[in-house]
């Protein structure tokens, strides 16, 4: 169906992440059309009905179930579809199944054709974004992974809770893989423009040694801890996706640690992983080159090697 006005966001995968993202986007008010697709028609119908019943409480927006034809006029297509790990299934087997799902999705998008930006959230997000880049044939600036936007938000929250400041005043990034090998960039982290070796004496909070390792471990283990408690994570990733989509739709040029294609930067080639990037209407405008400490650079290269190994096991047609 042709877009009537404003901004159209298509969400492929109306599961927990896709529908929480749709809800957050609906509350945010930046999209005029939110169109959802899922192979599970009953679930899709239920999610769309539930969201529509909230429309009288938010700014005008159309929410409906759609088809791949709707991708033609989309501004952003967000892929949150994925299979769940079966008992005894290896990570690589799951990845192979998810790659097959992505192939069917991208074949259908390509049949219709679109100028949209593709944003991937499905895990393992760096590899799935690479798969999307390869199978879509799009230029890399139009293929973005949610990457470590969520991990950076967790990092900023934990630092803010320790330092008792607003998380929006903490500037700190997690880069590399969205996963176990992710890298905290402590050397550039700051509050009010002050790095931690400068901020702590000024703060005078008397909290002893700054608990860097504890904070990093909490960031890294957050998803596992949440999944243990409630089965899945979806609120914060829903909001992280809204922030990325908002930067695209409103041409904001926000700096976000999205997953992006590296073509030789930091000595890493032909791999998607997260670095701070400027995100605009065109997708990724550019990467922001960081002056990393030797340990952080080694961590980033280790993260790349981990992903490269994983990628090598996957056949992409
Ligand atoms: P979920 O099982 O609730 O939803 C997945 C949905 O995908 C299901 O509704 C399923 O029917 C649908 N689907 C499967 N194949 C499809 C296809 N071919 N076309 C359309 N839809 C299809 O899972 P979830 O909790 O919503 O998680 C979705 C993905 O997001 C997972 O890969 C998860 O690991 C990932 N995730 C990523 C982050 C992040 O930070 N990037 C955070 C949380 C979850």
Q: Which of 10, 11, 13, 130 maximizes ligand 1 atoms within 8 Å of its Cβ, making it the mutation to test the pocket?
A: 13
What CATH number does the domain containing 161 carry? 3.90.110.10
Ligand 1 atom closest to the Cα of residue 120 is 41
| CATH value at residue 130 | 3.40.50.720
Residue 3 within any structural domain of the chain: no
Q: How far apart are CA 143 and CA 277, in angstroms?
A: 13
User: Where among 103, 129, 145 does a domain terminate?
Assistant: 145
Q: Enter the tokens of residue 267.
A: 């000595």
- Residue 249 and residue 159 share a domain: yes
Average pLDDT over the chain, rounded to an integer = 94
**Residues 300, 154 share a domain:** yes
CA pair distance 74, 6, nearest whole angstrom = 10
Which of 121, 145, 169 is the endpoint of a domain? 145
Instruction: List, for residues 235-278, the tens digit of each pLDDT value.
Output: 999 999 999 999 999 999 999 999 999 999 999 999 999 999 99
Range of the domain at 244: 149-313
Atom of ligand 1 nearest to the CA of 151: 40
Q: Which are the catalytic amino acids?
A: 178
Residue 115 and residue 157 in one domain? no
Choose the final residue of a domain: 87, 115, 145. Answer: 145
Tell me the CA–centroid distance for residue 234 and ligand 1, in Å: 10
Answering whether pTM is above 0.75, one says: yes
Per-residue pLDDT tens digits for 194-250? 998 899 888 887 787 889 999 999 999 999 899 899 999 999 999 999 999 999 999
Quote the number of domains for the chain.
2
Considering the domain architecture, whether residues 97 and 191 belong to the same structural domain is answered as no
Q: Which residues line ligand 1 (CB under 6 A)?
A: 12-18, 37-40, 43, 80-82, 84, 101, 104-105, 121-123, 125, 146, 150, 178, 232-234, 237
pLDDT surpasses 90 at 76: yes
Q: Does 1 map to a domain?
A: no
Is residue 124 exposed (0-12), middle (13-18) or buried (19+ Cβ within 10 Å)?
buried
């Amino acid at each position: 169906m042709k877009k009537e006005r404003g901004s159209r966001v298509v969400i492929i995968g109306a599961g927990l992440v896709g529908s929480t993202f749709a809800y957050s986007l609906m509350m945010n008010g930046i999209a005029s059309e939110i169109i959802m697709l899922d192979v599970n028609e009953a679930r899709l119908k239920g999610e769309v009905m539930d969201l529509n019943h909230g429309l009288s409480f938010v700014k005008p927006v159309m929410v409906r179930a759609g088809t791949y034809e709707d991708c033609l006029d989309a501004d952003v297509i967000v892929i949150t579809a994925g299979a769940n790990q079966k008992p005894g299934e290896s990570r690589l087997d799951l990845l192979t199944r998810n790659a097959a799902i992505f192939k069917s999705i991208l074949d259908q998008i390509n049949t219709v054709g679109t100028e949209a930006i593709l944003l991937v959230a499905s895990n393992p997000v760096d590899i799935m974004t690479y798969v999307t880049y390869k199978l879509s044939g799009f230029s890399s600036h139009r293929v973005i992974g949610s990457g470590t936007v969520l991990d950076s938000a967790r990092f900023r929250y934990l630092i803010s809770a320790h330092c008792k400041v607003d998380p929006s005043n903490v500037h700190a990034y997690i880069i590399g893989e969205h996963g176990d090998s992710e890298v905290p960039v402590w050397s550039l982290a700051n509050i009010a423009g002050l790095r931690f070796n400068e901020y702590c004496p000024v703060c005078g909070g008397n909290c002893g040694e700054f608990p860097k390792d504890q904070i990093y471990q909490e960031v890294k283990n957050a998803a596992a801890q949440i999944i243990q408690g409630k089965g899945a994570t979806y609120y914060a990733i829903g909001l992280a996706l809204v922030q990325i989509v908002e930067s695209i739709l409103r041409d904001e040029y926000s700096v976000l640690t999205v997953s992006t294609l590296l073509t030789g930067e930091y000595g890493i080639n032909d791999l998607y992983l997260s670095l701070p990037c400027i995100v605009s209407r065109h997708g990724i405008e550019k990467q922001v080159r960081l002056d990393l400490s030797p340990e952080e650079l080694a961590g980033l290269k280790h993260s790349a090697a981990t992903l490269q190994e994983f990628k090598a096991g996957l056949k992409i047609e």
